[in-house]
Structure 1
Amino acid sequence: MRTTSFDYTRATSIDEALSALAAGAQVLAGGQSLLQSMKLRQASPQHLVDINDLDELRAVSLDGGGLRLGALTRIAELCVIPEVAARFPSLQQAAKLTADVQVRNRATIGGNLCFANPRSNMASTLISLRAEVTVRSDGSSRRLAVEELFSGYLQTVLSSGELLTDVHLPDPGPDARGAYREISRQPNGVPVVNVAVAAAAGQVTGIGVGGLGVRPLRARLVEEALENADLSDPRAVDDAATLLAADLASTEPLSDMHGSAEYRLEAAVVLLRRLVLATTNERG
């Protein structure tokens, strides 16, 4: 199926892109999800603004003990950036499991987040790392935690005229560790459910989960339960993992042909338990 007709602008500056967005245009970055949706007539934008010439959105730089990633950073780059491998291993693990090499070479970290797929492995991993995004509009900018970016199924809080420009990964702390795991129907397919855990100095610092609700979530109740738990005791981790059900209370659990809500929750609990033990114990 072909797309509907649309106007096209290839922006030469962020200001030009912001002007087009304020007039109702939609961003085209990697296009791996957007173009597919357009071909299926699930999306029919009347105007696309292509931001691929904006080199400042490709910048990758150290930010204190953390890392700043421009929104146009390709998923494939996350697989080879030394700082990602050394300080944020879970992000590299998630990147390597994203689709196939052709898609990874085009897909961007900013586009992945803005498509707002609740099963996104990038989103859940960045949530576990307590990452933030910078959002710019004409004359102003704001900074949001990644989990605050999503407002619903395939929806973000971005308003007309706003552009996500950067992703900021804070210093992960001493002896930083992290891991990402997913369950999917096929290798490198869209996950049915996924979990990412970050830890430092033997303590869990963040947990992100995808595929349970209509948006990726941060498992705050589980994080709190693990603060004072003996993480060398699998029973304590089991007790904390079961709190995922309580975290779902404010969301609408997903249930579809790929997996029921009950299956997704049980799978997430199993993954969470394994990841917490793996990232906080040497024997993991």
Structure 2
Amino acid sequence: MPLTLETLTDAVYGDLHPHARTLQPAEQHRAALSEHLTWHATDALSDDFARGYAASAAVPGTTPDDYRNRWVPVSPDLQVLCGPRFEGMDLARPFVEVVGGSRPLELADLPHVTDAVRRAFRMFQPRYARLYRPEPDGAVPGAHPDRRFVGATLGTLRAAPLPDGLRAAPPQNFDFRPAYEAAYRASADADPHHPTYAQPETLDALQDYLNDGLLFEVRLHGRWVGLIAALPTTHLGLSGLEVAELTLAQDARGQGLGAALTTLLARAVPHPDTDVLLGTVHARNTPALKAALRAGRTDLGGWVQLPL
């Protein structure tokens, strides 16, 4: 069978969590998924991509051809599309991204996938292969946790009640910055691993969200208690918005407001009810994950790391 974008789209769509396939009409969903996968299945296989990537991440002993995405044979009936990556473009932290297969992947395939990937990308000495799986966190044998996708339609999220006095509005300036950064420091004090899950956004990023009408200060009875923001996305082929910021001030925590931030964001953004609000939350960022689920978002699966 020819290994085409259509083949990849069919396989990745089949890999999705069943609930993810109910959130938007199948034809719309598959079209957006195909558009999202186009870069992986075409651009990242090109000579221009390979030369540019090799120039920016020159690993000794490699050639530009090593950097392109490629279809790697796994078994007589399975190939996987994958390519080398580096965490934060740090050459000391290589991994392999497995985009999808020539058919949907089963758990029984994964040991064979890791063997094939290890051989195909040995020149980079990757630490793990990262791929999406629909199973609950911890259900993939031997895998290390990564980010989970949690989402629901805006219409569903907007139906939840809000605490009295909780309001969102676009900021008039960035005077909130000290309180915003203090909220992140408080999270780091409570959990030393938190900075590996999330960092405060730069001023440039916040300005971009504001320009798009997707940045809001949160106030409780007029007092600043947090910041929320979103950006357009098609993660998992779902059209809508991704949570870019969902932060609560330290002195406002423990009052059940964490889940309300999702409801507030869903009501504030100028998008239709049928769009999906999706977030990526690290599986070990327990407070954020619990708040997302309490707000009505569903765990739609997530990335896992298969050690190499």
TM-score range, shorter chain: under 0.3
Give the alignment's TM-score, normalised by structure 1.
0.27
The structure whose Rg is larger is: 2
Structure with the largest fraction of helix: 2
